[in-house]
Structure 1
Amino acid sequence: MTTEVSSATAAASTNTTSSGAASGTKLTSDFDTFIKLLTAQAKYQDPTEPMDNTEYASQLAEFSMVEQQVLTNDNLGSALDQLGLGNMAALTGWVGMEVRSATAAQFDGTNPINVAPNPAAAADDVTLVVKNSDGDEVNRITLPVSAEPYNWDGTNFGGDTVPAGAYSFVVESKVKGEVVLSEIAEVYTSVRETRMQGNDVVLINETGAAILATSVTALRDPSQVGA
């Protein structure tokens, strides 16, 4: 993990430096072109109606403002990159911890998976739909209209234990037989790695899924679960 992060950091640093150098070169080139155009404009102006000095000054001021805005945007982008790397470093302490988010969970073939449903308050019927990594339904379980956690024991429609693997959980909320809300339930998964994705920090869990750090709703130490 350290090697990959270091490589990503080096690449980001190289890209930022290259981008900054390219921007500076472009601005210099644009300014030279602007001066040439301004000089040509003065050279070939109508002598009977010469351009006012104030207009020259105004054009120079406008170009200078655009130049400063571009430089400010480059500096802001660099600051955001550094902030993102700082956030990632701060979240490396989450590696080995369990986070709760709307994602698939890894069933080891034995231990149940704790599911946190959040059905619609107006629902009169709630169903937990269990799907495998291929998106096929393996079970449908009737739940109470409640946000109380549910432990799925790893069984399918026939009551048999499903193979180990990644499983997702969709909560269907119905009113008078019609689905009014269908969303992925939150589950706890173990964090294996932290990465930068653009300016966002993502967590890689045991299924290999990338979870935005900002989407995590709970954090726990697996060694303290059930203690």
Structure 2
Amino acid sequence: MASGITGAASAAATTSKTGSGTSAQEIAGNFTQFLTLLTTQLKNQNPLDPMDTNQFTQQLVQFAGVEQQLKANDRLDSILASSKAASTASATSYVGQTIESTGITADLKDGAATWTLDAARAAPRAKVTILDAKGNTVGQQDLSLNAGPQTFTWNGKNAAGISQPAGTYTIKVVGQDATGATVTVETGVSGKVSKVDLSGSEPVLIVGTARVPLSSVKGVGLSTTSS
């Protein structure tokens, strides 16, 4: 009988560690089985050879830990549900707002596509390359960047001066300081949020054709006017 109790204890402990693979109901079932086996053994134990008290205590401590973990998991589920509800409410408030987020793609619309460039330090020499959806280079420009955030607007024309079709384009920026050392330049995009996708684990803001995870938002209400 003792081996049966130990087996129930081990099953419950293993179940509690596997997490998402097993439900709380199965853990609770093992706990009930343990109590049933324990009660039966206490009723039918040999008075001349009673249950080892140390083993009995260890099993009780083990299952007390399982019970506490079940309660903790319930509390965590409640906290996660509340957090997701708060995140959803926060995301929907962005609809109609202009946001700035990290990103390398922007929509070319009405002859212009705008990005935010944030240089770690001044970069007197910087090359901006614009790529189309197929990865082809459709525009390049040399410029000087100041330290900090600034906007860059591409006029939608290639090197031959031919206007490119509306769509999504990608920017690459390589910056160098006065000594020729590479300067890190982070890129971001701005735009007005038209709707929110709540189907995934994290809300995603829809800006034009771009999808912006809520965690990527760096600012709200920032101007997209080129400097």
User: What amino acid is the match of 1:203?
Assistant: L
From 181, 190, 193, give the equivalent of 1:191: 193
CA contact (8 A) 2:100 2:222 kept: no
**Cα distance 1:191–1:119, how it changes in 2: closer, same or farther (>3 A)?**
same
- 1-side partners of 2:74 and 2:192: how far apart? 37
Q: Tell me how far 1:40 sits from its aligned partner.
A: 8.0
Name the structure 2 match of 1:155: 157
Q: Tell me how far 1:188 sits from its aligned partner.
A: 1.0
User: What amino acid is the match of 2:59?
Assistant: Q
Give the alignment of 1:39-188 within 5 angstroms. Answer: 50-52=51-53, 55-103=55-103, 104-108=105-109, 110-121=110-121, 123-146=123-146, 147-174=149-176, 181=184, 183=186, 185-188=187-190
User: TM-score normalized by structure 1?
Assistant: 0.71
Post-superposition Cα deviations, 1:109-155, rounded to whole Å, max 9, x if no partner, equal x2423321123426452111111122222111112122432221111
Name the structure 2 match of 1:12: none
- 2-side partners of 1:34 and 1:72: how far apart? 21
RMSD (CA atoms): 3.5
Q: Tell me how far 1:63 sits from its aligned partner.
A: 0.7
Q: Tell me how far 1:165 sits from its aligned partner.
A: 0.4
Task: Give the fraction of aligned pairs with identical amino acids, expressed as a percent.
Answer: 26
- 2-side partners of 1:125 and 1:41: how far apart? 82
Name the structure 1 match of 2:218: 217
Unaligned residue ranges in structure 2 (runs of 5+): 1-18
- Please, which moves more after superposition, 128-137 or 161-170? 128-137
Instruction: Give the 3-state SS of the residue equivalent to 2:63 in structure 1.
Output: helix
CA contact (8 A) 1:118 1:171 kept: no
Name the structure 1 match of 2:207: 205
Name the structure 1 match of 2:4: none
Post-superposition Cα deviations, 1:168-203, rounded to whole Å, max 9, x if no partner, equal 2222123666756465x21212212223332x3321
Q: Tell me how far 1:28 sits from its aligned partner.
A: 2.4
Post-superposition Cα deviations, 1:18-44, rounded to whole Å, max 9, x if no partner, equal x99x83421221113333564687768
Give the alignment of 1:16-35 within 5 angstroms. Answer: 23-35=23-35
- 2-side partners of 1:213 and 1:149: how far apart? 22
CA contact (8 A) 1:88 1:195 kept: no
Name the structure 2 match of 1:5: none
Q: How many residues get paired?
A: 201
- 2-side partners of 1:121 and 1:221: how far apart? 22
User: What amino acid is the match of 1:129?
Assistant: T
**Cα distance 1:126–1:37, how it changes in 2: closer, same or farther (>3 A)?**
farther
